[in-house]
Structure 1
């Protein structure tokens, strides 16, 4: 009897994050969605109401019981850290992305690329890969890990994103697969995995930027999946105008809607402003490692409201542009990616800075 053996799993060092903060922070009140209930029609009907209300009122929610184990989650964070600690600066530069010219984040984004405020550049490093990892070359140390990275991307896409998209469709009283059919795995598009490392900054830079590490913004795509990690820094602009912290929950995901979902839902679902700030005192000096799946509709999707929705027919549609002038997803992402952190922003009211992308007013909150 013959037997086959699978390739050994590459060894990578363990990533040990800072412990969760003990500071008393004002946390955003986010709905917690038990995704295991989405396995039945009755469960989906119940969850659809929760998801609808969360995305309509706040634009953020938390997902638990998604089927990915704590051990699998920890392994992905080990891999994410490895992409920064075990790839040389020389090789990172070789695989550095060129978002201003390509409208894509694929590859490395090195620190000091974006302007934050008062002459301070970012201290953020990223490694981005399309969900189909074979579409690009990768640094040699990462290549043995690509099968795991690919499978992790597929899990995010099919086991978490698609169930959430079905619930969003039900919330608009549309057929369940309405949004799913716009987020195809194989079609040309920019749904991507992103590993991010935030490095501490000098006190001088913190003063100059009012402790803001990444300005308040909306995400440009469909649904963002952020795997919760213990270093507190993410803040959400609540409907009452106050910034509140996102609370860490072990092996949960923090999920939010982006511009494309707001456009497609005629403004019914919110692309909520959020930002990254200096961690609380007991976590200062720690690096913050993030693991994301940024989903986007297919490049060929025109971002016009789904007016066949009975909900939109009752509630009305908030348009950012006419149907004729609506951009395709490819146009929107390229415009926003090329401009982010590089264009000269105009001062709006209060701490708001503004720019126009494809004729749409985009706001940044400092």
Structure 2
């Protein structure tokens, strides 16, 4: 495991954001206490709780994940500095080549995606592979790479793998059935993403119906979002209503992605979520996100784990035949290259579609 020197490089500290005063319609999400996984009784309780959350909303909170509030603040300070302390010229030098590589490594600059009606995005990203040595990084960021490496390892081993073991147990599979498909040292694209949403003009908000990122499902297995206080994230609830995700200090907000839905034969659902303009009291503030995306190893074929007794009892919902199933690499590169660049087909009110590897991929707004 990566170790971090106690003498940390100094960084500007992000000012605290006051609690939201407006009353919002929040999603009712389960809170998974990972400390309970230390005992057989606690694990059994978590399996039931997690299974229910995954089959209902597909979003849930995690607490007692092993990071302190101080460590949480530190990774957000690094994320903020990745955008604030690096010049536009240097960002362009470290820009990822998404259309060619199908990977988000490096910067994604603003105005790359089309949101709607000719309006481009106002989102900056910097993506660091779980093995940061895979590519070079801006000079400013290099002293912080040991901390980013440690953050990725913690997210993978202390959050993602424990959850995958619980989910495998819920499917009545060997405990490591899912974790062994998500190897930290394997060939794949699990990575941390720093993501900065910048405020837009009123005209841009009107043309996009206040949508900053259309409703979508994530590519990978689990997305680990470190909760932050600026509003904007919403989940499409089972009753068809968009509901806000509430901020909880030092909690994680986790959702299932396409990969988990494919591997579980539809038993666990990939979660539809979006980002919209923050509420009025926060609209002058940039929205910063820190996310760890856990993806299966590139060679894994995304066919259902049909040996699961649970799937055998409940039936398997396939999005493609086993013969036509893409690998993780096929799926992630196909989605990444297409997202925000292809012409979408309007199929119903609030829904647009595209085809990726013969699978209908929906976008909601």
Q: Give, in angstroms, the shift of residue 18 of structure 1.
A: 2.8
Matching residue of 2:202? 203
TM superposition outliers: structure 1 runs of 4+ over 3 Å: 5-8
For residues 324-346 of structure 1, what are the alpha-carbon distances to aligned partners after superposition, in whole Å with 9 as ceiling and x for unaligned? 10000000000000000000001
Give the equivalent residue in structure 1 for 2:246.
247
The DSSP-based 3-state class of the residue aligned with 1:219 is coil
Q: CA deviation at 1:126?
A: 0.3
The match for 2:58 is 59
Q: TM-score, normalised by structure 1?
A: 0.98
1:121-270 alignment, distance < 5 Å: 121-270=120-269
2:4 corresponds to 1:38? no
Q: Distance in 2 between matches of 1:13 and 1:202?
A: 28
2:38 & 2:103 partners in 1: Cα distance? 35
Q: Could you tell me which residue of structure 1 aligns to residue 328 of structure 2?
A: 329
How far is 1:222 from its partner? 0.7
Q: Does 1:343 align with 2:342?
A: yes
2:46 is the alignment partner of 1:47: yes
Tell me what 1:273 maps to.
Answer: 272
In structure 2, the gaps of 5 or more residues are none
Alpha-carbon distance in 2 for matches of 1:117, 1:55: 31
2:352 maps to which residue?
353
- CA drift of 1:15 comes to 1.4
State the shift of 1:19 in Å: 2.1
- For the residue of structure 2 that corresponds to 1:153, the secondary structure is helix
Report how many residues are paired: 362
> Would the aligned equivalents of 1:56 and 1:270 in 2 still touch at CA under 8 Å?
yes
- RMSD over aligned CA atoms reads 1.0
The equivalent residue for 2:72 is: 73
CA deviations on 1:52-108 (whole Å, 9 max, x unpaired) are 010111111000111110000000001110100111111100000111111000000
Q: Indicate if the aligned counterparts of 1:98 and 1:104 stay in contact, CA closer than 8 A.
A: yes
Q: Distance in 2 between matches of 1:285 and 1:120?
A: 19
- Aligned residue in 2 for 1:302: 301
